[in-house]
Chains A and B, each alone.
Chain A
């Protein structure tokens, strides 16, 4: 049985079923079955081609062959907006002999590629200002036109920037609070059906409507207390120590967690994980590393670990062993999300929870950031293989609703390892007018240099450091600002990679026009109060 052939416009899957087929081919439209065709636009031969899945073809062989009457003329005529052109039609990757129908060699001409003015349609196309039918044409053209493909991205980005050209308007004062209320309402609705929650729990937690991201109670382990100076730059955030979980499940650090070994982080994730049993796909997983939606920082792998339930309430997350030890500082976020068939929150049995008393105060999706301590020395340096540096795995569990900690400031340090010593935003800032670029030159270390990119009139800056000597163990570099009153302020501490490079984001503590000098020194401890070392790199107006 063969039916009406439905050709879906490329890239517009939704419209085809609504608007009916754009292509009835030569087939009798009185036949009923609609078979989806996938349109492949091939730049290689310059023609648009349509393909369809093999199974449709096999189904057809069982029934009437639409081409039986005219096997020699299997030309397809595609009608789009009154303009006809023929199409090459073939089944997936079959040799001619294997074709159930002899229509594989029909090649027509794509009128689109013959129209020189079609290129001019690109800007309007990006703005969505050409008609639907023309858009189909243009899509076909775009697929085979390298010129337009090259320009497409630029135009698209221009369009995306247009809202910045509007005179700023501001929503009403209560809009923010209303948004948060609406969000709470929408998540609370799912729960109130099943379980009347106390007002307190309602306020403190939210429950997902769908079960695909259901909370698993998770805690990280404070191997190192939060008083440990978190390495890095000025906007580092330290967790309020009073909110550290007092009942956190603690596991011992791996014995090989000394310098030189791959960094590891142990997490104990406690919660009512679904029983594995015969449905292993239901086990929750934790992702360590950059979240899926974020651009992965360079060289930071993403580790997915299955939470192996011990009992039903306890699981241990794998080590974060893939993180390179010579990344000076890294922060990973851990997202614990059960898979699609995870339990609904109301089905949780608090008695099974290792940390039951916290169960009501956690957000649906636990997100815990684990700060991995800097290894201030290069891992391949001789003499420290037996070192005993402890990984600074700080548990950051924040308050009742906040379990989501991200150190963007730390993240920016990740560019130091191998690649460009300049981050994309630095690249952006340095090209824009208004920003200031302060070049610091090696004084104590002549080969070293650093560049500070200050954004516009703000004090936000990114610093790119090159060719500082590797740090001895226990030492750290620190940035200092001196203002016109000769007050010395720190800009934060940083480490460098084996090449002596790093990139860090920071806030300049004084207005740039009041700066009298900037210097980098080597200090014994992060965030020292006063500089003690020599000026290794310095800037003066």
Chain B
């Protein structure tokens, strides 16, 4: 198990695809909470978020999806899949019945962390959290509606009652600010990504 803990994400993904339960479990320990957090932010419902999360990992398990290094890091790939599945789920539900449940619920009280968060995740969390504070409220809102809401600029403009050009500007400025703030991480990630190919 310790060896698994030290294994790279890519290797764990491979192990998962090859139906190695321990690889799956370690993968979950590493990214389950992050995947869940992302899914919850998008679908705004704990039950649905959990099923999205399960879906993400089970797709890896069944080998339906394969990680391609050219996409970027394995975690980025996981997040991309999570976002896509969660957006699908959210749209499905919206077209069906019910309205979005308000977010911001507390964590499950019975949850307790059994694993310390990995050093990289801690660092990235701090970096991204700080980078987001650089954005103005409206810039952040536009970026988040695009990413977590899966909305186009036009849809965001309609929703906020703003001209599309203004939304475009906010997204552009916001993304550029993020890019600057995250430059050290992003540059390194690029190095890692290209090293894989």
What residues make up the interface of A, taking CB atoms closer than 8 Å to B? 120-121, 123-124, 126-131, 151, 153-173, 175-176, 178-180, 182-184, 186-187, 206, 208-210, 213, 235, 237, 291-296, 333, 335, 337, 363-365, 367, 369, 401-409, 411, 424-425, 427-429, 431-435, 455-458, 460, 505
Contact = CB atoms under 8 A, between A and B. Distances in A.
Given A170-B111, A175-B32, A424-B191, A187 B19 contact: yes
Given A129-B153, A176-B25, A458-B119, A154 B186 contact: yes
Given A157-B186, A171-B53, A407-B3, A130 B63 contact: no
Given A128-B150, A129-B156, A434-B126, A172 B172 contact: no
22 contacts: A127-B147, A127-B171, A129-B152, A157-B76, A161-B186, A165-B125, A169-B41, A170-B113, A175-B36, A179-B57, A182-B58, A183-B21, A293-B69, A295-B192, A363-B19, A367-B18, A402-B22, A404-B22, A406-B3, A407-B6, A429-B123, A431-B185
A213 B3 contact: no
Contacts, number: 295
Contact of A129 (B54, B151, B195): B151
A428 B185 contact: yes
B111 A431 contact: no
Tell me the interface secondary structure of chain B in the complex.
helix
Contacts of A296: 196
B93 to A, nearest CB: 18
Given A169-B37, A183-B21, A294 B8 contact: yes
A163 B32 CA distance: 12
B91 interface: no
**Most chain-B CB neighbours within 10 Å: which of A154, A158, A409, A435?**
A158
Given A161-B185, A295-B10, 14 more contacts: A124-B172, A127-B171, A154-B186, A162-B79, A165-B131, A171-B49, A171-B53, A173-B112, A182-B54, A183-B21, A187-B61, A294-B8, A427-B188, A435-B123
A492 to B, nearest CB: 13
B38 A431 contact: no
A409 B126 CA distance: 25
B110 A173 contact: yes
A367 B168 contact: no
| The 10 A-B residue pairs with the shortest CB-CB distance in the complex, in nearest-first order | A160-B76, A123-B175, A365-B18, A408-B6, A295-B196, A455-B119, A129-B146, A294-B10, A406-B7, A165-B128
A130 B6 contact: no
A418 to B, nearest CB: 15
Contacts of A167: 37
Contacts of A429: 119, 123
A169 B125 CA distance: 13
Contacts of B20: 363, 365, 367, 401-404
Listed residue (B11, B17, B129) with the most chain A CB atoms within 10 angstroms of its CB: B11
B141 interface: no
B10 A291 contact: yes
A235 B6 contact: yes
A455 B69 CA distance: 25
B24 interface: yes
Contact of B36 (A131, A162, A170, A206): A170
A131 B195 contact: no
B58 A291 contact: no
Contacts of A409: 6
